[in-house]
Structure 1
């Protein structure tokens, strides 16, 4: 394909994804409401205490349909698989096998966690942190093995410094990136529209890297995700009609990590996903402070809830975090493109 055909190919799939998700979403929300797939507000903090501040901020959201992420990754998977029946396939061994596998498998894991939470199954009303981490680690190691042994990835690119051979160390690095990114997005997904907006920007940034590197099928895959997430965001902005849930946050976060590795731009991930990083750091600082100092540093974490507690309106936090995420994504893209020259 020439450059014009390639752009039409990418934008075409993105548009189809957006339109299809927009058309299906109202019926999907109705299905969630009818079957009472409503969000359960957490009752305890990480140290087992009553989450009084959080419940005060978000008690009104109890019962809002969740598991909306199923719609996004489900439509993405359907479009990718059906595209293989056409001359314009988005299914490619070297570019989209692993992102698609990651999207669906971690989406199923998150869906189980959401379902257990909704139905009150398990001691923690969910799969639990340790079992979830175990399965995420297993999936991440499988993906790392595929990258290293089947696709031949064994180098990393550091902007301004060049490529470095790391051999087998690629496997633990890959696993760490997938686990960290999936959990970071999950932590950030706490306000209407926040995670979805940031994800659209992040997938767009890595889509640019994919395009510049000649990974046009992967670029189309990013476009499909962006189209579906944009339609999801239409119904997720304040006040949200439904939430993405763990099935979305874990899935999209893990997939973002895989795409960062595929485009060899993993060291730009903390810049492009800066908001995800600071949200996660605030929670890690809080947990560490409670464990080692016996007291809290912040009144509540993650950071978006802290700003809410300080009096910022939810939509104010969301839009300002979007602005920060957009600016850091632009910075990351500039650094990445300059580093290629």
Structure 2
């Protein structure tokens, strides 16, 4: 167990909480601008017609047929990205703490933006958007640049291993960085499939990391995480069922990338699967479904993957799935903080 002594300076706490409040207010102010442009420009999300394995997405279409009767705009992730960028540049820009997550968020968001534009225009051969291999290559490119900065400029060469201590891995920190960021970006992207789901879960995860960064006295990162949390609460206000808009890949890629970077900057990579447990569960269910189909002659484990759609398929209302996953995510975030304080998997 850590001999944990936290000296709380009221002014520091107030500043960090203020960043969260400013993130919320800025996102609220940007929302009417986005909705005006989205509804005027017809930024309607195109529903997928094929699964990731190339089959007709019959179960998905049946589950969400009513939702897609009405036009729902996508790319709303622009709202919380811009809010985070504006607040961070205005009062929380730090070379050692906030440059990397901010630029990584913007870079991954740009990839998602182009993917969403292709979706809106109906490109994508059934899945609507950029080809998976192209998205993967671009995300790996962004992660590679971030990994180089992490190693060469921030001079990070070690990771903390549970019950062992610091392990120096030298330049291997770069591929680790790429793996963590790429995996987290995709996990959040896969999770973004129900009204309010990804936004609420990401808010819990970033809130947990704000606490962890504060305990580590990395106040810039704590402020960044609170800014994202505040902006996400504003976004989720409009994204809960029935959603007024969707974050799109611009939002999910940005959130996942930033979350992975924050975990690396706080040296708590092994806590990330705990705090982001639902993201891991969602991505894992999709992976297991694909492997099962390929290795077991087309047999499925779930009615449909990712797992949030499986629960819909067996009769759970969308709102029940979302709220129960929120509860799981919040409990996981608390467990992550407790493990951090106890000195577990840091």
What TM-score does the superposition give when structure 1 sets the normalisation length? 0.95
Cα drift, residue 245 of structure 1: 0.6
CA contact (8 A) 1:39 1:61 kept: no
1:1-341 equivalences in 2 (<5 Å): 3-62=9-68, 63-81=71-89, 83=90, 89-123=91-125, 125-295=128-298, 296-339=300-343
Quick check: 1:70–1:248 contact (8 Å CA) kept in 2? Answer: yes
Distance 1:207 1:264 in 2: 13
Q: CA offsets per residue over residues 131-169 of structure 1, 9 Å max, x none?
A: 110011111111111111111111111233322111122
Runs of 4+ residues over 4 Å off in structure 1: none
User: Which stretch of the first structure deviates more once superposed, 175-184 or 164-173?
Assistant: 164-173
Shift of 1:2: 7.5
Count residues with an aligned counterpart.
335
> What is the RMSD computed on CA atoms of the aligned residues?
1.6
| Separation in structure 2 between the aligned mates of residue 189 and residue 216 of structure 1, nearest angstrom | 29
Is the 8 Å Cα contact of residues 41 and 61 (structure 1) preserved in structure 2?
Answer: no
Q: Distance in 2 between matches of 1:218 and 1:46?
A: 35
Matched residue SS, 2:66: helix
Q: Contact 1:159–1:335 at 8 Å: present in 2 too?
A: no
TM-score by length of 2: 0.94
2:122, 2:135 → 1: CA distance? 16
SS at match of 2:167: strand
Q: Flag structure 1 segments of 5+ consecutive residues without an equivalent.
A: 84-88
**Unaligned stretches of 5+ in structure 2?**
1-6
